[in-house]
Chains A and B, each alone.
Chain A
Amino acid sequence: MALLSIENLCVELEGPEGTYRLLDEVNLLLNKGQCLGLVGESGCGKSMTALAIMGLLPQGMRAHGSILVDGEDLLRAEEERLCQLRGRKMAMVFQEPMTALNPVVPIGRQVGEGLRLHLGLTRHESETRATQSLARVGLPVERFPLGLFPHQLSGGQRQRVVIAMALACGPDILVADEPTTALDVTVQAQILDLLAEIIDEFDMGLVLITHDLGVVAETTDTMAVMYAGRVVEDGPTDEVFRRMAHPYTRGLFAAMPSHSSDGAATRTPLSTIPGRVPDALSRPAGCPFVTRCGFATDVCHQSVPQMEALGHRHGAACFNIARGEVDQ
Chain B
Amino acid sequence: MTLFLVKRLIMLVATLLVAAVVVFSVLEILPGDPALVMLGVSAQPDTLAALRAEMGLDQPAWLRFFQWVGGLVTGELGRSYTYDVPVSELIVERVVVSLPLAVMALTLSTVIAIPLGVIAASRHNKPLDIALTGAAQFGIAIPNFWFAILLILLFSVTLQWVPAGGFAGWDAGFWPAVQSLLLPAFALALPQAAILTRVTRSSVLEVLQEDFVRTARAKGLSRNAALWRHAVRNALIPVITILGLQFSFLLAGTIIIENVFYLPGLGRLLFQAIAQRDLIVVKDLVVLLAGSVVLVNFLVDVGYAVLDPRLRSGGGHV
Contacts and interface: CB of A to CB of B under 8 A. Distances in A.
A, B from the same assembly: yes
A99 B313 contact: no
Interface in B204-253: 210-212, 214-222, 229-230, 233-234
A151 interface: yes
Contacts of A162: 215
A86 B230 contact: no
Nearest to B313: A152
B317 to A, nearest CB: 6
Given A99-B210, A103-B309, A151-B316, A87 B220 contact: yes
A181 B215 CA distance: 17
A292 to B, nearest CB: 32
A104 B212 CA distance: 11
Interface residues of B toward A: which range?
A: 20 to 34
Interface stretch (A89-97, A120-128, A217-225, A236-244): A89-97
Contacts of A106: 309
B220 A118 contact: yes
A117 B217 CA distance: 12
Interface string B304-318: 000111100100111
Nearest to B233: A104
A280 to B, nearest CB: 21
A54 interface: yes
B223 to A, nearest CB: 8
A165 interface: yes
A247 interface: no
A117 B222 CA distance: 10
Contact of A117 (B212, B214, B219, B317): B219
A56 B212 contact: no
Interface string A131-153: 00000000000000000010110
Given A103-B310, A105-B230, A165 B212 contact: no
B210 to A, nearest CB: 7
A273 B210 CA distance: 34
A102 B211 CA distance: 8
Contacts of A118: 220
B218 A91 contact: yes
Contacts of B214: 56, 94, 100
A306 interface: no
Nearest to A148: B309
Contact of A151 (B212, B217, B222, B310): B310
Given A100-B212, A165-B215, A117 B309 contact: no
A103 B212 contact: yes
Contacts of A149: 309-310, 313
A114 interface: yes
Contact of B219 (A79, A87, A103, A152): A87
A151 B219 CA distance: 21
A265 B234 CA distance: 47
Interface residues of A, number: 32
A152 B307 CA distance: 16
Nearest to B308: A104
A100 B220 contact: no
A102 B218 contact: no
B211 to A, nearest CB: 4
Given A83-B221, A84-B220, A151-B317, A100 B307 contact: no
Interface in B118-146: none
Given A101-B215, A104-B234, A117 B310 contact: no
B218 A92 contact: yes
A225 to B, nearest CB: 25
A88 interface: yes
Contacts of A96: 211
A111 to B, nearest CB: 9
A106 to B, nearest CB: 8
A166 B317 CA distance: 25
From A56, A96, A101, A151, residue with most partner B Cβ within 10 Å: A151
Nearest to A95: B211
B215 to A, nearest CB: 5
Contacts of B230: 102, 105
Contacts of A99: 210-212
B230 to A, nearest CB: 5
B310 A54 contact: no
Interface string B143-159: 00000000000000000
Interface string A59-84: 00000000000000000000110011
Contact of A88 (B211, B212, B220, B308): B220
Contact of B217 (A56, A105, A152): A56
A60 to B, nearest CB: 11
A87 B220 CA distance: 5
A113 interface: yes
Given A105-B230, A149-B310, A114 B215 contact: no
From A91, A100, A118, residue with most partner B Cβ within 10 Å: A100
A106 B233 CA distance: 13
30 contacts: A54-B218, A56-B218, A84-B220, A87-B220, A88-B220, A91-B218, A94-B214, A94-B218, A96-B211, A99-B210, A99-B212, A100-B211, A101-B215, A102-B216, A102-B234, A103-B212, A104-B308, A105-B230, A105-B233, A114-B220, A117-B219, A117-B220, A117-B221, A118-B220, A151-B309, A151-B313, A151-B316, A152-B313, A165-B215, A166-B218
Given A56-B214, A87-B219, 7 more contacts: A79-B222, A86-B218, A91-B219, A92-B215, A100-B215, A104-B233, A104-B308
Interface of A: 54, 56, 79-80, 83-88, 91-92, 94, 96, 99-106, 113-114, 117-118, 149, 151-152, 162, 165-166
